[in-house]
Structure formats: structure tokens, C-alpha cells
């Protein structure tokens, strides 16, 4: 199945810009947002200054037998620091949850060849589910700084509404729902999400794949541009191993350097 | 920019230092963001096939103790894209390039190797040991006769480029395989590739990799790679060997050189730290300063054992 | 004393739980200092030969990332000592005992197995995969015909004890080996033994092990053991399999059970923590409580796959 | 080569006494005695109360990829604590050297089936070289408590005399030498080590193998009982793996459970 190879469009003869490599950074703050959900503030000027919403960083455990990088979306920046928000799901995140202020951690990034595109003015609908919400927090932070945009956030949680107050600092139009009450589609269908029909509507979504697929379909029927932030197990995060592919209309495509944000229409759902 | 004084020669090709990247863990546009590829002994590019391959379904990677299990399945954009993009870029950046060649059938390999005739590639590495494709790869590398015939045909196809055969560790006797490759005209041997492994998700009871099994690499396999290099060096005192498997610092690189390798490649470790090949090359420079006898042998294209 | 509710049956032998010790990492007088052996599914004793063996020169052990490389070379006091000491002691303590049998020649195995006829051993494990002896061991386990003949002869010698063949991972096709063993009458398969590995001292440039190479075991080999069990289970849906290799906690034990093993053995991990087999048995009890479907299959002597 | 198997003499049917397993203990004190030589005080009542001189403990690194136990001779006990003294030689000891008061470390022990036998009254000559000195410190501590013995210590160092002051707290008869000046044999030959020819002389020695061999030969010619504390790479330390053998007149014999102390006459030098 020959196909257009996304990287073929770049100039092959350009000397690449050098990126900072794996490095050790200080832990500034560790805060539990819910039972097993933790916000980690790390100090890294490069990430704080250059990360775009949808991009992620790799964190490495101190355990020398667990070598693989763990990807986490940047959830916000502040001066020389940035935050991530993670759930304790396995041994790596369990170890990260024991970090304390003053500890250090190894990181790489920011990574991700395609971030959320926030250039379009108009209405933005941020639809997040579970641990897909953190990148949307950062998108909302950036959108809040743009006078020509208006952001509505629709957040679905398993139980604890761990990110509502943080989202509200970026946009007053924050709506959320827990599993017991329904899902983000319930909210999408009960809200009037595009109050200004003359304005273009951009949807940014991140969360479980079935949720993003439903949001994509909703976007199709509402004539909205939809950008999805995809998740895949990664081997490196910087494009070298070709482990992180998802099927797209261009074939198997790397989530790390060709994503993690994709136009929802390119994903094979 | 580091100055490297401890060069090596692998099958006639001079390397600035004994450190190369391993195939599948280096991609020009990704890795060149982190270091100057001209500072390595060589870079080995991802297995390239006659036409673009889509590889295996995802997830393709799983963690294991001091290792990683991968089933990329040789996804790559094909030889034409490689010749138009990666290879010229790497040569322009001053790299010594080892082109890793993949195929499902002997004919696949021949097609690729033919297109590489008169290319600027410095060496070819024939991947006969990928555990992640159903046809080709491992099924060739585990059978001495098939391997002999393949390498013989490739030699006829491309007389110009030195080639190394990347032999699998999971055979009953690696020396038989190694001899088949060199008898057929392989100029060097790349030892070892990954070992077949898998992990299971204990919540679902299902394999983590979509392809069930994958190739285990990383520090976990270090002792296995060393033993294979040692054994083949004992059986074939004069064949150039590139040592691969689990190298994660300059000291473990040194172990391979003492085991009889002429040079080494760094795989999984580069995935966990993009600059690792460069850092290891620098640190090895210092360790070789302290070992003039070994350094002299390598510089002369000879080996410690 | 823990109560175990999740038993298993391996080739007709009931085990209190699916956890056993692995051969060479359990010695009655050493291990019984740390836990009650009657609380394990079974204990596997060190490879026993017709006469006392002195083993290899020292050093016999080297560390590797998440693993350990050993070349004991089957040092043991011989079958007569075993029958007079270890075996009666373990039986008196209430253990289910798997006697691991070693030999240089087929005749060695036959002598040992003959002496074990009518012994209180519950199962025999025929070690045809030790990488640390020059004759016997691995050279038998890697050749299907030799293995078939050996197991056939052993079956004739001892009809009474169920036996398991401990097959090596470093063969081109493990399923061929597995089939040869079961066709010849092996009641079960113990998968896997160690992989050949080595380490080198970068100060001296010499191998750390006096015997140059040894067997790699420990968490590093976990993915390889799992892949072998998965493959053999696919090829032989009904053969009892004891999964071995890199198990270091109850979750990794569970991975083997999901891969299709009936039971598991713990090797290197018991060297790093004498109580580990007991602790893992206890923790597995809880994990199986949460997995009634898997527990029911094991209790019935069936497997997950 | 059939031979008398040392373990065959035990009662095979005895139910063994249960030993404490691998456990986590607090680090009480870390003190550098020389450039790369460190004294570590650990709190473990069981070891402090039961360890005999010549016995050792296993320490485990926090690095999950370095699994093997590291053996160290007990160098002294005090109440509920005991000390070890180690040289930084590889990655494990380097990691131990970064331990600080209040940290914890995993240990097993005390281990060693044969300790120094201090039952004999009379003169004791303790001959230690390099990192073989720590077990002799503990032997001297115990001998100091025995009124019917008199201890002379002869210590050979590479350079820094890291243990002289500690040895002097146990015996005033402490003599030492550094590589630049000679070796323990130089001292042995210049001293009058057996001032009381009517008393039996017991030599306890620990250090590099060539040194111990020379001490053994010296003992032979001086009609002294000589006990050597042997070193070997170990796989477990408690007798299960049979990795730690040395050649003795009884064949390959485990250093951990049949040693580490052996009559010097049983060693094949
Ligand atoms: C681009 C991207 C952004 C992400 N952002 C966030 C975030 O902001 N907050 C958050 O809580 N989680 C996020 N995740 C998921 C997060 O990476 C995993 O939860 C985490 O890696 C689990 O690590 P562990 O060590 O606890 O699990 P383990 O199961 O011990 O991990 C074993 C291996 O599997 C990988 N792995 C396991 N689960 C996942 C998963 N769901 N996705 C990718 N790799 C996985 C690990 O990275 C590791 O390599 C993101 C994933 C991706 C791909
Ligand atoms: C019974 C006994 C008592 C000992 N007592 C002391 C003591 O009191 N003070 C002291 O400084 N040293 C002592 N040693 C030596 C000490 O165990 C090693 O220096 C230490 O294990 C090195 O660990 P590492 O991680 O720094 O070296 P690495 O080279 O990283 O270790 C790798 C592996 O090799 C083993 N190893 C390396 N060198 C030795 C060695 N010389 N002996 C045994 N195993 C080794 C390690 O235990 C480990 O398993 C003793 C050894 C034995 C056998
Ligand atoms: C993600 C990944 C992809 C790989 N792809 C290839 C390949 O295309 N061709 C090949 O010959 N080897 C391939 N390999 C094997 C490596 O080149 C190397 O032989 C192996 O990883 C062992 O080295 P390491 O332990 O340093 O990783 C791949 C390895 C990894 C981890
Ligand atoms: C020190 C040591 C000695 C061993 N001796 C034997 C043996 O005598 N017979 C045998 O069949 N396997 C022997 N083995 C292999 C183990 O039984 C087991 O198959 C292997 O170690 C893999 O399991 P692990 O990763 O849990 O250690 C030995 C392993 C070790 C580490
Ligand atoms: S994670 Fe390696 S290429 Fe994307
Ligand atoms: S170290 Fe294992 S038996 Fe001595």
C-alpha cells in the first residue's frame, strides 16, 4: 500500500535545529487533585517558553530497570515552570506520585510535531475526557490570551471533577459531567455550543478514543473544525522508533512527531 | 565538537570512532535534532524495503525489566524515499552511513541492494533477523543454506558496497549462521538483533503488543550479545564484527570491544536518551585513552581477541 | 500459615498453589531456613547426577542489568546423597518435590532416573538445557532426535514418576523441541532455562566468569520466557507447562498463567530474596481471588489458553 | 571425584530454625574513614545480637536493575546497631557511599556458616590486609571481652591507615604498614608475635589471597592455628546457589555456608 509519506515534504538537506536532550529538572510542587490524580510542577525554562498546547514531555522513572519514557501532556506554564497532571495507573506513575518538592526528575521535550492550532479566531469548544483534560487546560490558558476567541470547555470525569477550578481560571464557560450523570456527548447535545453561528467553530478534543470519535462525528454534523489529540504507547517520543503509530488516511502515522494532534478527519476511527 | 583520536576500520571502511547507531533506533530527521551525526563512527538507518511498508498494528512497544519489547514490523517509506531523502541528508551532514536492508523474500533484498549500487551508502547491513515480520527476516537468518544463497545473490547484485549480515541470537548455533554468511561473501557480521519476547497485561490477560510478540532489546540482553560476539570471534578470528545488544554506556561498549568486536551499535538506549550514542562515543574516547593497546588494535582494523 | 485456595494440577500431580522454586536456586537446608516449604506448590531441587559433581571453577556468578549470569556447572553431591538427605527431609517437611535430573550422557540420566524409581519424588524434571556443562545438557536439549531418544529411554526406566522436560530457549524453534519431548512421553514441559550470556571486566579485559560464559536468568529474561510459553501453548494446547524465567512478583507469575502455563517456578529472584517464592505464592493467592475464571481453570488442571 | 560431602553430616530430618529474611533497616551513621573507604552503621538488633566475627551481611542497592547482593563482613556491633566498612570499588558500593543518616537499606543476614572460632584461650594474632581488616576489627572487639586472651593486630594498608584507631580501641598491640613500606609479612617477621611460647597461638587472617597464603605458611612454620576468612563472588549468600565455591581439600566448597572462615590447612592455595 504505497502512500504519500508525510515527511517527504520536508527539505531533506536542511541542517536540523538542535533540541535540548534528556535532562534533570527540579520538582517545584506536587499537589493531589483527586484520589489518584496528581499535579506536578517542574522547572524547565525551555519547556515553559516553547511548549505549545497538545505537546507533551517525557518523564523517566528513577528506577533503573524501568527505562521507558512516560508521555504527559503539558497542562500549563508559568514563568520558568510548567505543570503536568497525571493519574496513577501503573508503576511509573506510582513512582512519580512519591516525588516531593526539591526532588529532581529526568525529562525530554517538549515533544510533539503537531500541536493544537489556535490561529483561527472565533469560537473554541474544548471537549475533554478523563486524563485527556490536561492538554486542554493548556489550550485554554493560551486561548484566554487571545482577544479574538471565546472558549467553552466541556469536561467529562470518571468521578472527581479534578480540573474544573483550573479550567475556570481560563474560561468561565466550563461545563462538566461525571460518568454517573452521563458523558460529554450528553453535555454537547444539551448545550448550545455554537452561540455565534457567524463565527467559525473549532473543536479541540482529547480523551478516550470512543469519546473523541463521537466528538468528531458531532463536529462533522455541526460543520466544525475538529482537532483530536491522540494517545499511543511510545518507544521514544522524538520520532526515531516508529512505535507510536495510529492508522490514519495516510497510513500508519507516528503519534509523536506527526501528532499527537491530528485533524479528526484524518483518523481512521 | 569533540576530537576523536580512536578510530576503527570495519571491513575496510574507516570509522571516526567505534560507535554507531543501531538500525530502527535512529531516524535522520529525528536523531539529528540531538547531535552531530558526523561525530559518530557511523549511523545505521532503519531497515529499508523495495516499497513502503506499513508495519504492524499498534501498540508496538512494551516495557520489560531493563529492556523494551518492540514490534514495529519494519514500517518504512521504501528505498526510493530513502535514496531521495535520508541518505543524501545524512551524507551531506558528514555521516558514515550503514544502510539496513529488509525484505520478505530474497527478491525484496535484491531489489533494494540493486538500487543501493553506486549509492553513497558506506556499508549495507542485511537484516536477516527481524523477529517482527512473518515472512523473510528471521526465517532467512536462522537457516544457514537460505542465508548463504541470499548473501551470494546479494554479492552478485552489488559488488561495490561492503555488507554486514545482522544475525539473530535465537538460533541453536550462531557460529554456523555466521559462517554461512561470511562464506557467501558477507564482509562483516552485525551481532546481535533482538530476541523474541512478549508481555501480558494482567488486567486484561491479553498481550500488550498488538502483534503478540516482539523483539526484546536494551540492557537486559547485554550478556547474550556479548556471549554471541565472543563465540563468533572464537570461531572466526578475522571477520569484522559489529557488536550490538544492550550497550548503555561506554563501559558496556568496551565489553564488546574486549569480546572481539571491531565496533559497536547502540539501539534501545538511544530511544531512552536521544543523545546517548554521542555521549557514549565521547566517553569511550576517554576509556580508550586509558587503553592504548586496545585502541591501537582497533585503529589498525584488528580486534582485541 | 497462609491458607491457599487456588490449587493447580500439573500432569496429574496436585499442587497447593501454582508456585514452585526453580532448580538450582533452592537447596533444602538453605531455603527451609526462610519459609515453610509445604506452603509452596512444589519445590524443585538442584540438578542431580549419578555421582557427585564438582562443577566449574569460580567465579561462577556475574551481575547483569536486571539479571544474573551463573556458571555453577551442576555441582551437586550426587543421587545417593540426595536420596538419603534432601529428598527425605523435604518430604518430611511436607513439600511436593520435583527432582531435577542432570547428566553428561544419556546413561547418566538413566542411572539417576532409575534410582528415583519408587522414590518419594513427586515429579522429575529432566534438565536438557544447562548451558554450563560441556557435554550433555544443552547439546541434548537442542537436538529433537537426541531428546526424543533420551526421553523414550527414561520413560522405560521409570514408569512411575511424572516427568517434565526443561527445554532451552536458545533454539531456532522451541516448538520442535517441545514436541519431541512430549512425543517421547514427557508429561509436562518446564520452560525456560537460562540463556547463554557473559560479562567482561573492563579493567582486565577478561571474562568475569571463570568458565567465560554462563546462563542468564532473572527479570531480564521475563519477556523471552513468556514468548516461549505462549508459542508452545499455541502448538501444544493440552501439554502441561511450567512457566519459568524472570518471575519476580505475583504479577509476573500471573503473566505466565495468562500465557498458558499451568504453574510457575521462581529462580534467580529467590537468590536475591530467600523468602520470595513464599511471598509470591501469598500475593498470587490474592490476585487469583480477583480472577475466578483463571483460578477455576488452574484448579481443574486446565489453562487459560 | 567422589568426596566427603560436608553437609552429609547434618541430621537431614531436622526442621530447620527459621531465619529473618531480607529486610529494610535504617542507616544510623555514614562516616568516611579514608578517600574511598566508608563506615556504615546500620540498625538491626538481630544482627547486632547474633553476628559472630567473620560473618557477613548482604546489602542490596536501591537500583532495581542491580539485583545482586553485596557481601560485607560485620566490623563491629554496638547495642542494636552494627557497622560495616567498605571500599568504593564498583557501582554498588558507589551507591552505598551516597547513603545518608535516615535513609534505609535492604539487608540479609548475618550470614556465614563458619565464623572465627575464638574459643581457644591464649595469644591471638590478627593479620589483615586492605578490606580484609573489617572482620578482624569485630574479632578484636569480641576478644577484648575475653580475659584469657591477648590480641596483637598486624594490619597492611594500600595507603591510608583507615582502621588503626578503631583497632586500638580493642587492643593496644596494633601494628600497621602501608604498601610503600612493605607488607604484613614484613611486620610478622620483624615482630616477636608469640611472646608467650607456652600459650597456644591462634592466627585470624583476612585479606588478599596471596597475603593469606603467606600468613598460612608463616603459621605452619610457627606451629600456629590459622583461620582464614575467604572471599568469593556470591550469588545468594545463604547457601542456595552454589556459586561461591573455592577449592578446598574437600573439593569445591561454598564460601557462604561452609565458610567464609576456613582452617587455613583446608584451602587449596
Ligand atoms: C501524548 C500522550 C500524552 C499523555 N498525557 C497524559 C496526561 O496528561 N496525563 C495522564 O495521566 N496520562 C497521560 N498520558 C498517558 C500516560 O502516558 C500513561 O498513563 C503513563 O505512561 C502510564 O505509565 P505507568 O508507568 O504508570 O504505567 P505502566 O503500565 O507501568 O507503563 C508501562 C509502559 O507502558 C506505557 N503506557 C502505559 N499506559 C499508557 C498509556 N495509556 N498511554 C501511553 N503509554 C502508556 C508507559 O509509558 C510505559 O512505557 C499520555 C499519553 C500520551 C501518549
Ligand atoms: C564474605 C565477604 C566479605 C566481604 N567483606 C567486605 C568488607 O568488609 N569490606 C569491603 O570493602 N568489601 C568486602 N567484600 C567485598 C565486597 O563484597 C565487594 O567489594 C563488593 O561486593 C563490590 O560491590 P560493587 O557493587 O561496588 O562492585 P561491582 O563490580 O559493581 O559488583 C558487581 C557484582 O560483583 C560482586 N563483586 C564485585 N567484587 C567483589 C568482591 N571483591 N568480592 C565479592 N563479590 C564481588 C558484587 O557483589 C556484585 O554482585 C567482602 C566480600 C565477601 C565475599
Ligand atoms: C524499535 C526498534 C526497531 C528496530 N528495527 C530494526 C531494523 O529495522 N533492522 C534491524 O536490523 N534491526 C532493528 N532493530 C534491532 C536493533 O538494530 C538492535 O539490533 C537491537 O535493538 C539490539 O540492540 P540494543 O539492545 O542496543 O537495542 C530494531 C530495534 C528496535 C528497538
Ligand atoms: C544459580 C543457578 C543454578 C541453576 N541450576 C539449574 C539446574 O541445576 N537445573 C536446571 O534445570 N536449571 C537450573 N537453573 C535454571 C533455573 O532453574 C531457571 O530455569 C532459570 O534460572 C530461569 O528462571 P529465573 O529467571 O527465575 O531464574 C539454574 C539457575 C541459576 C540462577
Ligand atoms: S515514539 Fe518513537 S517514533 Fe514515536
Ligand atoms: S552464595 Fe549462593 S551458595 Fe554461596
pLDDT over 50 at C13, yes or no: yes
Measured CA to CA, the distance from residue D72 to residue D29 in angstroms comes to 16
Mean pLDDT over D11-35 rounds to: 86
Measured CA to CA, the distance from residue C60 to residue A225 in angstroms comes to 65
Render B242-261 in DSSP notation, one character per residue. Answer: EEESS--SHHHHHHHHHHT-
Nearest CA to ligand 3 atom 26: B267
In the residue annotation, C130 being an active-site residue is answered as: yes
Strand partners, B68: B63, B217
Dihedral sign computed on CA atoms, order D184, D190, D191, D193 = positive
Asked whether residue A93 is marked as a ligand-binding residue, the answer is: yes
Per DSSP bridges, beta strands D201-206 and C263-266 are unpaired
Query: Which parts of B136-289 are beta strand (E)?
Result: 162-166, 188-191, 195-197, 214-217, 241-244, 263-266
Give the per-residue pLDDT at B167.
Answer: 65
If you measure from the C-alpha of residue C218 to the centroid of ligand 4, how many angstroms do you get, rounded to a whole number?
9
Helix, strand, coil share of chain C (percent; to 5): 35, 20, 45
Q: Which ligand is nearest to the CA of D54?
A: 2
For A219-255, what is each residue's pLDDT tens digit?
Answer: 999 889 999 999 999 999 999 999 999 999 999 999 9
Q: Which residues in chain D are closer than 8 Å to A65, comparing Cβ atoms?
A: 63-65
Of residues B142, B196, B226, nearest to C198 (C-beta): B226
For B65-95, what is each residue's pLDDT tens digit?
Answer: 999 999 999 999 999 999 999 999 999 999 9
Asked whether residue C56 is marked as a ligand-binding residue, the answer is: no
For A193-205, what is each residue's pLDDT tens digit?
Answer: 555 778 899 999 9
Give the phi and the psi of residue D16 in degrees, each rounded to 5.
Answer: -70, 150
Give the per-residue pLDDT at C132.
Answer: 67
If you measure from the C-alpha of residue B71 to the centroid of ligand 3, how many angstroms do you get, rounded to a whole number?
10
Q: Which residues contact C136 (CB under 8 A, 6 or more apart)?
A: C102, C103, C104, C105, C108, C109, C130
Measured CA to CA, the distance from residue B244 to residue A193 in angstroms comes to 56
Give the per-residue pLDDT at D15.
Answer: 62
Name the CATH code of domain B8-55+75-195+217-299 (choices 3.20.20.70, 3.40.50.170, 3.40.50.620, 3.40.430.10): 3.20.20.70
- Please say whether the beta carbons of D47 and D57 come within 8 A: yes
**Widest CA span of chain B, in angstroms?**
55
Measured CA to CA, the distance from residue B252 to residue B232 in angstroms comes to 18
For B262-303, what is each residue's pLDDT tens digit?
Answer: 999 999 999 999 999 999 999 999 999 999 999 999 999 999
Q: Three-class SS of residue B212?
A: coil
Of the candidate ranges B162-171, C55-64, C198-207, the one whose mean pLDDT is the lowest: B162-171
pLDDT over 50 at A6, yes or no: no
For chain B, the distance separating the N- and C-terminal CA atoms, rounded to the nearest angstrom, is 32
- The residue with greater pLDDT, B45 or C128, is B45
Asked whether residue B85 is marked as a ligand-binding residue, the answer is: no
Q: Three-class SS of residue B98?
A: strand
Mean pLDDT over A55-75 rounds to: 97
CB contact under 8 Å between D241 and C88, yes or no, is no
CB contact under 8 Å between D66 and A63, yes or no, is no
For B175-191, what is each residue's pLDDT tens digit?
Answer: 888 999 999 999 999 99
Which of A236, A258, A260 to probe ligand 5 with, by most ligand atoms within 8 A of CB?
A236
pLDDT confidence tier of residue C93, bands split at 50, 70 and 90: very high
Domain residue extents for chain A: 23-111, 122-266
Measured CA to CA, the distance from residue B258 to residue B226 in angstroms comes to 9
Measured CA to CA, the distance from residue C214 to residue C218 in angstroms comes to 13
For C271-284, what is each residue's pLDDT tens digit?
Answer: 999 999 999 999 99
For chain D, the distance separating the N- and C-terminal CA atoms, rounded to the nearest angstrom, is 19
Give the per-residue pLDDT at B290.
Answer: 97
Q: Which ligand is nearest to the CA of A112?
A: 1
Asked whether residue D229 is marked as a ligand-binding residue, the answer is: no
- Please say whether the beta carbons of D232 and C59 come within 8 A: yes
Of residues C34, C72, C92, nearest to D241 (C-beta): C72
pLDDT over 90 at C237, yes or no: yes
Per DSSP bridges, beta strands B67-70 and B97-101 are unpaired
Return left, alpha or beta for D183; rule: phi > 0 is left, psi -120 to 50 is alpha, else beta: beta
B273 touches chain A (CB under 8 A): yes
Other C-beta atoms closer than 10 Å to the C-beta of D19 total 18
Measured CA to CA, the distance from residue A43 to residue A25 in angstroms comes to 6
What are the grid coordinates assigned to A174, written together?
A: 466550563
pLDDT confidence tier of residue C3, bands split at 50, 70 and 90: confident
- The residue with greater pLDDT, C17 or C169, is C17
Specify the CATH architecture of the domain A122-266. Answer: 3-Layer(aba) Sandwich (3.40)
Specify the CATH architecture of the domain D23-111. Answer: Beta Barrel (2.40)
Strand partners, A106: A24, A60
If you measure from the C-alpha of residue C84 to the centroid of ligand 4, how many angstroms do you get, rounded to a whole number?
23
Strand partners, C215: C70, C196
- Whether omega for the bond prior to residue C192 falls within 30 degrees of 0, making it cis, is yes
DSSP B53: B
The ligand 1 atom nearest the CA atom of A84: 8
Given C37, C102, C130, C298, which residue is catalytic?
C130
Name the percent of chain D lying above pLDDT 90. Answer: 87
For A125-183, what is each residue's pLDDT tens digit?
Answer: 999 999 999 999 999 999 999 999 999 999 999 999 999 999 999 999 999 999 999 99
CB contact under 8 Å between A241 and B271, yes or no, is yes
Q: Which residues in chain D are closer than 8 Å to C88, comparing Cβ atoms?
A: 12-13
Name the percent of chain C lying above pLDDT 90. Answer: 79
How far, CA to CA in Å, does D116 sit from each of D53, D113, D168?
A: 6, 10, 20
Q: Closest chain C residue to D20 measured between Cα atoms?
A: C34
ipTM: 0.95
If you measure from the C-alpha of residue A130 to the centroid of ligand 1, how many angstroms do you get, rounded to a whole number?
13
Mean pLDDT of chain A: 92
- Helix residue ranges, H only, chain B: 28-31, 79-84, 86-92, 106-116, 138-141, 144-157, 174-183, 222-235, 250-259, 268-272, 276-289, 292-299
Q: Which residues in chain B are closer than 8 Å to A245, comparing Cβ atoms?
A: 55, 58, 60, 75
Give the per-residue pLDDT at B175.
Answer: 87
How far, CA to CA in Å, does C17 sit from each of C98, C269, C277, C298, D152?
A: 14, 18, 11, 9, 56
Q: Closest chain B residue to A111 measured between Cα atoms?
A: B30
Measured CA to CA, the distance from residue C225 to residue C259 in angstroms comes to 10
Mean pLDDT of chain D: 92
For B99-121, what is each residue's pLDDT tens digit?
Answer: 999 999 899 999 999 999 989 99
User: Which residues approach ligand 3 with their CB closer than 6 A?
Assistant: A 235, 241, 243; B 22-25, 46-47, 70, 72, 74, 100, 127, 130, 166, 193-194, 215, 217-218, 221, 244-247, 266-269
Amino acid at each position: 500500500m504505497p502512500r504519500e509519506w508525510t515527511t517527504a515534504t520536508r527539505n531533506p538537506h536542511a541542517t536540523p535545529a538542535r533540541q535540548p536532550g534528556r535532562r534533570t529538572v527540579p520538582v517545584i510542587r506536587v499537589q493531589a487533585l483527586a484520589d489518584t490524580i496528581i499535579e506536578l510542577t517542574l522547572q524547565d525554562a525551555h519547556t515553559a517558553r516553547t511548549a505549545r498546547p497538545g505537546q507533551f514531555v517525557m518523564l523517566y522513572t528513577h528506577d533503573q530497570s524501568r527505562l521507558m519514557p512516560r508521555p504527559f501532556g503539558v497542562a500549563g506554564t508559568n514563568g520558568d515552570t510548567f505543570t503536568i497532571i497525571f493519574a496513577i495507573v501503573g508503576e511509573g506513575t506510582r513512582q512519580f506520585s512519591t516525588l516531593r518538592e526539591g526532588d529532581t526528575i529526568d525529562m525530554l521535550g517538549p515533544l510533539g510535531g503537531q500541536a493544537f492550532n489556535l490561529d483561527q479566531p472565533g469560537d473554541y469548544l474544548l471537549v475533554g475526557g478523563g486524563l485527556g483534560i490536561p492538554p486542554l487546560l493548556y489550550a485554554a490558558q493560551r486561548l484566554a490570551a487571545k482577544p479574538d476567541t471565546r472558549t467553552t470547555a466541556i469536561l467529562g470525569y470518571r468521578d472527581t471533577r479534578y480540573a474544573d477550578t483550573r479550567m475556570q481560571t481560563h474560561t468561565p464557560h466550563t461545563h462538566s459531567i461525571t460518568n454517573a450523570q452521563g458523558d460529554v456527548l450528553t453535555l454537547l447535545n444539551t448545550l448550545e455550543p455554537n452561540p455565534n453561528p457567524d463565527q467559525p467553530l473549532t473543536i479541540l478534543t482529547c480523551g478516550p478514543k470512543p469519546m473523541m470519535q463521537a466528538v468528531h462525528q458531532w463536529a462533522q454534523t455541526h460543520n466544525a473544525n475538529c482537532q483530536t489529540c491522540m494517545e499511543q504507547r511510545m518507544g521514544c517520543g522524538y520520532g526515531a522508533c516508529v512505535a507510536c503509530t495510529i492508522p490514519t488516511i495516510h497510513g500508519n502515522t507516528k503519534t509523536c512527531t506527526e501528532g499527537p494532534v491530528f485533524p479528526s478527519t484524518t483518523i481512521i476511527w | 565538537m569533540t576530537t576523536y583520536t580512536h578510530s576503527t576500520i570495519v571491513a575496510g571502511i574507516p570509522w571516526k570512532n567505534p560507535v554507531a547507531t543501531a538500525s530502527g533506533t535512529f531516524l535522520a530527521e529525528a536523531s539529528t535534532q540531538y547531535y552531530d551525526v558526523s561525530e559518530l563512527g557511523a549511523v545505521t538507518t532503519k531497515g529499508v524495503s523495495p516499497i513502503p511498508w506499513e508495519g504492524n498494528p499498534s501498540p508496538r512497544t512494551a516495557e520489560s525489566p531493563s529492556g523494551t519489547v518492540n514490534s514495529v514490523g519494519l514500517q518504512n517509506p521504501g528505498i526510493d524515499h530513502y535514496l531521495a531523502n535520508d541518505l543524501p541528508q545524512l551524507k551531506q551532514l558528514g555521516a558514515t552511513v550503514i544502510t539496513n536492508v529488509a525484505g520478505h523474500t530474497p527478491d525484496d533484498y535484491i531489489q533494494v541492494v540493486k538500487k543501493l549500487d553506486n549509492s553513497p551508502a558506506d556499508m549495507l547491513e542485511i537484516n536477516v533477523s527481524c523477529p517482527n515480520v512473518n515472512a523473510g527476516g528471521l526465517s532467512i537468518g536462522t537457516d544457514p543454506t537460505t542465508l548463504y544463497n541470499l548473501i551470494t545473490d546479494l554479492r552478485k547484485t552489488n559488488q561495490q558496497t561492503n555488507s554486514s549480515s545482522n544475525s539473530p541470537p535465537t538460533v541453536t548455533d550462531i557460529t554456523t549462521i555466521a559462517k554461512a554468511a561470511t562464506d557467501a561473501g558477507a564482509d562483516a557480521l552485525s551481532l546481535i538483533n533482538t530476541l523474541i519476547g512478549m508481555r501480558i497485561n494482567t488486567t486484561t490477560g491479553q498481550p500488550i503488543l498488538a502483534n503478540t510478540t516482539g523483539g526484546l532489546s536494551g540492557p537486559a540482553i547485554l550478556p547474550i550479545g556479548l556471549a554471541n560476539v565472543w563465540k563468533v570471534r572464537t570461531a572466526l578470528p578475522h571477520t569484522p564484527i559489529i557488536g550490538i545488544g544492550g550497550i548503555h554506556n561506554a563501559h558496556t561498549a568496551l565489553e564488546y570491544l574486549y569480546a572481539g568486536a571491531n565496533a559497536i551499535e547502540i539501539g534501545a538506549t538511544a530511544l531512552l536518551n536521544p543523545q546517548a550514542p554521542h555521549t557514549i562515543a565521547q566517553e569511550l574516547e576517554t576509556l580508550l585513552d586509558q587503553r592504548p593497546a586496545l585502541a591501537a588494535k582497533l585503529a589498525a582494523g584488528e580486534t582485541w581477541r
